[in-house]
Structure 1
Amino acid sequence: MNTIAPLHNVRTTMLDMAYEAHGQAEGEVVILLHGFPYDPRGYDEIAPVLAERGYRVLVPYLRGYGPTRFINAEVMRSGQQAALAKDLLDFMDALAIPQATLVGYDWGGRAACIVAALWPNRVRALVTGDGYNIQDIAQSIKPRAPITEHRLWYQYYFHTQRGVDGLTANRRELCELLWALWSPSWVKGPSLYGKTASSFDNPDFVEVVIHSYRHRFMYAPGDPALEEIEQALVQPPPISAPSISLCGADDGVGPASVEDEDLGCFSGFYRRRILAGVGHNIPQEAPQATLEAILELLDST
């Protein structure tokens, strides 16, 4: 099952945010959030099943992706973690959603984790790809193990003008390479990439992506309007919402470690599952495992 729902738009404080909606308007809300370099197609085998079970399922395009657009031409095209979280909170406010179950990985997981940590009353439950996704930016200047530095080559590439020019000229080819490197065991990946690639043609994609990877290493200033949120993350806040972390054993960015380094970041119900043969694009590579985690939390909380 991979039915694509009709496209909707909602005006937030910064964005005309495009999103796909499944299910009935009165259903309990589940929000599914994609990462970089992905889009809502990652949830095509998950959203319709949740809708059939009576949930209202919303799948937004993040800032810089697909049909989502900035309202003001002068607004900073920030990709920092506070911007992603504020967009999610604004999205919920604009649609008058008091509380939702959040599901996300990569950038989307970061937004979900921050909202769960700072606005716990807005989150019923959380399924997060690769655990606690809130960045400890102050620690980013410390060198990591050489193998980790090797995996982060694309981030350092984006720190340079060459990287800006390369992403601008070769965004589809570069993102396709990342799909392959990050999900080396995913047989279906190459055939599905074309369904997502057009989302990177957004006019703000390059600027948002470049800022995201520069800000997290303190090579670019953040949006002053978001500084209060960033300051609230300096001492990483715990997440109290019932949570399940799904980690890809074959993740080409950061393979799941044997020891759960995020255990202390969750103060409520928390489980971690390592998915064999799964890379970075968790919901699209492992839709059944993702769906089971969502339903487990919805059925038990």
Structure 2
Amino acid sequence: MNPERLRVSANGLAFEVLVWGRPDDPLVLCLHGFPDTPWTWRELGPYLAARGRRVVAPFLRGYAPTDLAPDDDYSAPAIAQDVLALHAALGGDTRAALVGHDWGAVVTYAVTQAAPATFARYVTLAVPPTAAVIAPFRRRATLTIGLGQLRRSWYTAFNQLPGIAERSLDRLIPKLWRDWSPGFAGRGDAETALTALQRPENRRAALRYYRDNLRPGAIRTGIAPLGAPLLYLHGVDDGCMRVELLPLAEPHLPPGSRAVAVDDAGHFLQLEKPEVVNGLIGRWIAERDPNGQR
């Protein structure tokens, strides 16, 4: 099922979005991360649409053809406001669900903090809450996990280098796809991401996600308690975020949440194991929420 492409105005920006499903069906917003685009939802979109959901996957602020941020703010709280505005602009109601991968997961956590009742169900993939990433450094027994994650996160420091990081994306993005999802043929997806980041201003915007969200104030916001239960999925073979972080994430998830490790999958697990990931997400969204609604 090929998606429809629309332009949606929300929060002072014009968003390009991919859409699967009928306009009157309950909304599912799907948020991509770096270095990818909403096309990474091409397996989940048709799956949920066939089950009575309208799936909308936007190019996030800064990713062409969506607008650049008018305030030059690419922090998770700012993008969370985009999500809330998109929910309203798309006619979302209390049955809506929010799904986020990578930076989209970080934004999803921010939405649960800012307005948890906006969506009935939340799903995150591949990146645990900030508190879970910091947790290994709080105990000697888990320090090796934290140090191992620091080594994997070398690109985070590299992405802080103005100009150098922007010019390196043509080599960096294909490398990250290879390293983060070993054995997965993500060449086409890397090229699609580079297409969304062709212009220098878009490259700068994508890297500002790393620069804006590593500021002390953003980190303090990120470690605040989450506001709604969610489903968290993590690929066992993830080359970006260590799977050992998954059990460390569970204490930081609200009651009623669920954390699941997906075998034979790396960072882009929604593309690597769609039959497993689609089923887990579909069942989670279909379950009754704590208020007895769907």
Matched, 1:12 2:10: yes
1:197 to 185, 194, 198: 194
Q: Which structure 2 residues correspond to residues 64-103 of structure 1 after superposition, within 5 A? A: 64-70=62-68, 72=70, 75-76=71-72, 78-99=73-94, 100-103=96-99
Q: TM-score, normalised by structure 2?
A: 0.84
Unpaired runs of at least 5, structure 2: 289-294
Measured in 2, the distance between the counterparts of 1:37 and 1:30 equals 22
Deviations 1:86-114 (A, max 9, x none): 21112112223233211111111111122
Matched, 1:264 2:264: no
Contact 1:85/1:115, CA 8 A, preserved across alignment: yes
Matching residue of 1:25: 23
Matching residue of 2:212: 215
Match of 2:248, SS state, is: coil
Q: After the TM superposition, which parts of structure 1 deviate over 4 Å for at least 4 consecutive aligned residues?
A: 134-139, 141-145
Residue identity opposite 1:179 in structure 2: W
Name the CA shift for 1:240/1:31 in 2 (closer, same or farther; >3 Å): same
Deviations 1:3-44 (A, max 9, x none): 331211111223111101111111011111111001111111
Match of 2:25, SS state, is: coil
Name the CA shift for 1:18/1:182 in 2 (closer, same or farther; >3 Å): same
Match of 1:26, SS state, is: coil
Percent of counterpart pairs with the same letter?
24
Deviations 1:131-166 (A, max 9, x none): 643579999x999844322211111112223xx234
Deviations 1:258-287 (A, max 9, x none): 761122222232221111221111212221
More deviation in 117-126 or 263-272?
263-272
Deviation at 1:193, TM superposition (A): 3.1
Deviation at 1:123, TM superposition (A): 1.4
Measured in 2, the distance between the counterparts of 1:137 and 1:147 equals 11
Match of 1:260, SS state, is: helix
Matching residue of 2:286: 299
Measured in 1, the distance between the counterparts of 2:189 and 2:103 equals 20
Contact 1:33/1:60, CA 8 A, preserved across alignment: yes
Q: TM-score, normalised by structure 1?
A: 0.83
Contact 2:131/2:252, CA 8 A, preserved across alignment: no
2:125 to 129, 133, 143: 129
Contact 2:5/2:19, CA 8 A, preserved across alignment: yes
Matching residue of 1:59: 57
Name the CA shift for 1:197/1:131 in 2 (closer, same or farther; >3 Å): closer
Measured in 2, the distance between the counterparts of 1:282 and 1:294 equals 12
Name the CA shift for 1:285/1:239 in 2 (closer, same or farther; >3 Å): farther
Measured in 1, the distance between the counterparts of 2:3 and 2:41 equals 11
Name the CA shift for 1:14/1:172 in 2 (closer, same or farther; >3 Å): farther
Q: Which structure 2 residues correspond to residues 165-244 of structure 1 after superposition, within 5 A? A: 165-167=164-166, 169-186=167-184, 188-202=185-199, 204-218=201-215, 233=221, 236-241=224-229, 243-244=230-231
Name the CA shift for 1:33/1:135 in 2 (closer, same or farther; >3 Å): farther
Q: Which structure 2 residues correspond to residues 33-48 of structure 1 after superposition, within 5 A? A: 33-48=31-46
Name the CA shift for 1:131/1:254 in 2 (closer, same or farther; >3 Å): closer
- RMSD of equivalent CA atoms: 2.8
Residue identity opposite 2:106 in structure 1: R
Unpaired runs of at least 5, structure 1: 223-229
1:250 to 237, 254, 257: 237
Paired residues, what number? 281
Contact 2:130/2:223, CA 8 A, preserved across alignment: no
